[in-house]
Amino acid sequence: MTTPSPNHSISQVVVGLRDVFDSGRTQDVSWRIDQLDALRRLLEENESRFFGALRDDLGKSVTEAWAAELGFLLSEINFARKNLRSWMRPTRVSTPLACQPGRSWVEPQPLGLVLIIGAWNYPVGLLLGPLVGAVGAGNCGILKPSEQAPKTAALLEELLPLYLDTNCFSVVQGGAEETGGLLAERFDLIFYTGGAAVAKIVMRAASEHLTPVVLELGGKCPAIVDRDVDPATAGRRIAWGRFMNAGQTCVAPDYVLVDRDIEEPLIDGMVAAVEEFFGKQPDLSDDYGRIINNHHMQRLVDLLGKTTATATPNLQMVIGGRWDVESRYFAPTILKGVSPDSPIMGEEIFGPILPVLSVSDVDEALEFVRSQPKPLAVYTFTHDKQVERRVLHRTSSGGVCINDVIMQLTALGLPFGGVGDSGMGAYHGRHSFEAFSHKKAVMRRTLHPDLKLRYPPYDETKLKWLRRLM
């Protein structure tokens, strides 16, 4: 099933998928494993086509497309395939004495019909990643690829029905109108990846049906750099995370708070890394991506313009600051001497611009981070365990990575998700299965014996025994 025609409305698709789910088709473990295997074949057999679509939409190199999208998805699928049977098993819990003889357990159950709305910056991974959890948990679903990555969206619309059970999954293409039509329907879970503005629309729509949501958003992820680290290594890792996918990564370091004692060496390390990665002319590098479309190009140009126009005398553009609208190229750009109230510090950049702010010590950095909305990730570079503990305990974020960036996503045992402004809910690995499951509480008792203690009329003797048994 693909995009509904005028004679086959979204409502009809929803009704059809819900009927199939109610039939019990998705409950069996063999069906779930078959669908996971089909997803794996989809990726393996169409690898080159996905590489081409991602190159057209975002200028991604083959290596980056494989590592950050297809390869990561294959790891997710293989991990779920290996562990699915154990995840599906009921978990026994203790039963109180008052309920004996009896047995209690938690049984995971699929939620039902789910809606997954993908994002454009990783248009394969951020649509199919949640789908792995939805399939593993035994749900039917509608997939909405991002229209802002049109080549990838068209490829997903073409290929998914060739591999997945078309009675259980549907792909809906389109923009705001189609998304609005989907959100008007009743789902058992909505999984949305994107920005906060649309997330509020999703939540409002979900509230009409009391539908639970998982929101994977973003925010300004800080990198806090202590004075005791190797600035070359820290600079290389920060630059890699910031400029991967041309900065269009929700967990990329959005700004750097560095001890002023090593500010210059750190900046030198980041500049050297950019030239090592992409050469003196990144626009000629096959490994440097492109901005998704002209709207976001203009947004970045305007943001940089406002920042430099209102800058203090200390602001310096260390590297970059060039762009070409026609080719959607925006150079890796590092700004030094940025003021905390600069326009570029007022919103998530989501592009290849990296502001650097110097601080007197880590405590000053932590105070600044605590004054901002909660980010999706906090990064800290330090050898001091006391500093590490202060970062962990004095900041609130979706996750923390110490002495690196972004790599926390590769540990499938870790949940990935935000908190506060950066989202709600989490997935990856078992957490994906749980995100799309209901933990059903079950108790089984025998009909005999049937103690009279709990039944009226009550007296002091019954109360005494209830106190002992409960």
Q: Which CA distances in Å does 183 have to 69, 142, 192, 349?
A: 27, 11, 11, 28
Q: Which of 250, 263, 348, 434 is catalytic?
A: 250
- Residue 281 burial (CB < 10 Å; 0-12/13-18/19+)? exposed
Whether the bond between 415 and the residue before it is cis, its omega within 30 degrees of 0, is: no
The residues that bridge with 124 in the sheet, in sequence order, are none
| Positions of E strands within 31-112 | 91-93, 102-110
Distance (Å, rounded) from C-alpha 384 to C-alpha 268?
23
Distance (Å, rounded) from C-alpha 181 to C-alpha 4?
11
Read off the amino acid at residue 368: F
The residues that bridge with 377 in the sheet, in sequence order, are 399
Closest CA to 153 of 182, 185, 180, 118: 118
**Continuous segment of H or E residues that includes residue 390:** helix 385-394
Read off the amino acid at residue 413: G
Other beta carbons within 10 angstroms of residue 408's beta carbon come to 18
121 with 249: CB under 8 angstroms?
A: yes
Q: Which of 64, 76, 216, 263 is catalytic?
A: 216
Q: Which CA distances in Å does 4 have to 127, 150, 166, 181?
A: 19, 18, 13, 11
DSSP code for 327: T
**Continuous segment of H or E residues that includes residue 213:** strand 213-216
Q: Which CA distances in Å does 258 have to 322, 334, 338, 390?
A: 25, 14, 12, 16
DSSP line for 99-158 = G-SEEEEEEEEE--EEEEE--SSSTTHHHHHHHHHHHHHT-EEEEE--TTSHHHHHHHHH
Read off the amino acid at residue 245: N
Distance (Å, rounded) from C-alpha 40 to C-alpha 289?
26
Indicate if 147 belongs to the active site: no
Indicate if 76 belongs to the active site: no
CA Rg, the chain, in Å?
A: 25
375 with 349: CB under 8 angstroms?
A: no
| Catalytic machinery residues | 216, 250
